[in-house]
Amino acid sequence: MNNFVFFPATKYVFGRGVENKVAAELSAFGMKKPLIVYGKGSVVRSGLLSRVRKSLEDAGIPYAELSGVQPNPVDSKVYEGIDIAKREGVDSVLAVGGGSAIDTAKAIAAAIPYDGDFWDFYCGKARVEKALPVGVVLTIPAAGSEGSGNTVITRLDGLHKLGMGSDVLRPRFALMNPELTMTLPPYQTAAGITDMFAHIMERYFTNTPDVEITDRVAEGVMKAIINEAPKVIADPADYNARANIMWSGTLAHNGVCSGGREEDWATHGLEHELSAVYDVTHGAGLAVMFPAWMTYAMQTNPGKIAQFARRVFDIEEADDAKAAALGIEALKKFLTSIGMPVTMRQLGIENPDTALLAGKVTENKGEEFGNYIKVNREVAEKIYNLAR
């Protein structure tokens, strides 16, 4: 097991009606004038935004607003938010929505105390040392951004989608009411489930030996997702299944599945190019890319994929290569059962430019990236081709 630092630090308030505590939690964390960051869809339509505004007004908490954040959130919206934040003199950021709103909120929170361009953090020129405090009212269980210090932003001008992270960006609080997720369309629910499952696999597939405790926790979260996902797909209003899925999404990404192990994250890099070039839903892109990456990886390194097959999908097969192959099939079957694509064709990409994708991913992630197996431009193209 490797040395590690784990500093979770987010206060999770979970259950029915917890969004009504937003003013109280802002005050508890000394957030006196937040910038509310949100999208333009369900948060507005459902009346949630109006309720949040009213809560703040009733409590005498002034606020500014940044609206219109989109999936695969872009830098232009971050710059817009920075301008508003500076003009209005906010002291904190409150995301109301899912990963896109939260990731945009974190980018703004990091940018305000920083002299340079916020993009410096994403392209690796600078590290976040300070940030405005961030709060969250979560409506989409998927990205896990409510419990992580990570944020991913897409650059409009160059089709680059890059991530960065710092413990100072972990939200101070996250209000998580599973009822707010009941109106998510089935496809978005399934894409969110795939995203959280992928967050665990990025940590799980490691060459670090002797990490039994985090292996077992990760396997437990994956097993819970496999058990609960069909229930939310079958009945979107199943509160308990929604609750189990929502909390799984947080545990998948807040670091509980991480301690002491090298992580991989090649597949997220590969998928980010798909999202950037073809504007696909992140979770759906992961459903396509993960089985392809595993299929390539098992050729040279089947061990952990075989363990995954045996412990997560209960596959009884002594041979590692055979077990790994059966595990990948079981994963595809699970993803298909909740309505996810597992090929680019099913994703609507008939003629993917795999050379372009492979070029872009090495440009963004480096000539060689990933840890469980090393991915270079040639390997990336092979994996993209396996995903056709």
Q: What CA–CA distance (Å, rounded) separates 289 from 295?
A: 10
Amino acid at 369: F
Q: Tell how strand 160-165 and strand 150-155 pair up.
A: antiparallel
How far lies 106's CA from each of 46, 92, 148, in Å? Answer: 24, 10, 10
Angle at 126 between CA 282 and CA 359, to 5 degrees: 45
Residue among 2 and 76 whose Cβ is closer to a second copy: 2
Shortest distance (Å) from residue 254 CB to a second copy: 9
Q: Which residue from 81, 92, 77, 86 is spatially nearest to 22, judged by alpha carbons?
A: 92
Shortest distance (Å) from residue 167 CB to a second copy: 8
Residue among 8 and 163 whose Cβ is closer to a second copy: 8
Residue among 57 and 210 whose Cβ is closer to a second copy: 210
Residue among 104 and 248 whose Cβ is closer to a second copy: 248
Residue among 244 and 281 whose Cβ is closer to a second copy: 244
Is the Cβ–Cβ distance between 358 and 377 less than 8 Å?
yes
Q: Which residue from 292, 297, 281 is spatially nearest to 348, judged by alpha carbons?
A: 281
Q: What CA–CA distance (Å, rounded) separates 195 from 281?
A: 10
List the beta bridge partners of residue 153: 162
Shortest distance (Å) from residue 2 CB to a second copy: 7
Structure tokens at 289: 């890319």
Shortest distance (Å) from residue 233 CB to a second copy: 15
Q: Which residues lie closer than 8 Å to 342 by C-beta, 6 or more apart? A: 287, 288, 291, 332, 335, 336
Shortest distance (Å) from residue 6 CB to a second copy: 4
Shortest distance (Å) from residue 222 CB to a second copy: 8
CA 25 centroid distance within chain? 24
Shortest distance (Å) from residue 358 CB to a second copy: 36
Residue among 36 and 229 whose Cβ is closer to a second copy: 229
Q: Which residue from 163, 160, 245 is spatially nearest to 202, judged by alpha carbons?
A: 163
Shortest distance (Å) from residue 99 CB to a second copy: 19
Q: What CA–CA distance (Å, rounded) separates 176 from 179?
A: 9
Residues found near a second copy in the complex (CB under 8 A): 1-16, 18, 178, 209-221, 223-224, 227-228, 239-241, 243-244, 247-248, 251, 256, 259-260
Residue among 14 and 114 whose Cβ is closer to a second copy: 14
Residue among 50 and 337 whose Cβ is closer to a second copy: 337
Q: Which residues lie closer than 8 Å to 318 by C-beta, 6 or more apart? A: none
